Amino acid sequence: MERISWNQYFMAQSHLLALRSTCTRLMVGATIVRDKRIIAGGYNGSVTGNVHCIDEGCYVIDGHCVRTVHAEINALLQCAKFGVATEGAEIYVTHFPCLQCCKSIIQGGIKKVYFAADYKNHPYAIELFQDAGVVVEKVKLEQVSVELHMQEKKDYVDKLLDKLETSVEDTSEIAAIKQEAQRLFT
């Protein structure tokens, strides 16, 4: 078995953090790393103790949900809250940072931004990153997944295959498909 790269490892952490998001429009996670060590993580959600999008819907003004604090900002604020320096650190984000997050990342002294998915990549954010000397790189996650309902999916596929097997005359092809499904789910 081949080990995943550091970039994939930290990006997987960001995807895991995104699962905690309370925004119904887009689940985002961010992980701040220095010297191959995680120093903070954040996800997009409401201000502590306030109403969440999952409870009352998004509060959208000018196309943006203003109820949430973005994942990148939550991670940066976690560092500030606990006195952890971000100068020279790297950040892994599930989606390309918005313009406001871009500016905060630069001000926080972060030198590398890794993202998994393009999301309204603002031209000025790209320009600001370039002007500040911040390296921006897209990281593909091909080998890593968080499977939330694997047993349910396996049971469903098994049920479908059993039903298909009883409805066809030549079951040799179904046997091969069952074998492949078994391999994929184990």
**Residue type, position 122, single letter:** H
72 flagged as catalytic: yes
Judged by DSSP in three states, 112 sits in strand
- Backbone φ and ψ of 149, nearest 5°: -130, 45
Q: What's CA 82's distance to the chain center, in Å?
A: 24
Token readout for 68 is 């949430």
Catalytic residue among 2, 56, 72, 90: 72
Query: What span, in angstroms and rounded, lies between the C-alpha atoms of 88 and 79?
Result: 13
With contact defined as beta carbons under 8 Å apart, do 75 and 97 qualify? no
Judged by DSSP in three states, 99 sits in helix
Q: What residue ranges in the chain does DSSP mark as E strands?
A: 29-34, 37-43, 45-46, 60-61, 64-65, 68-69, 90-95, 112-117, 135-138
Tokens 């191959």 -> residue: 36
Positions annotated as catalytic residues are 72
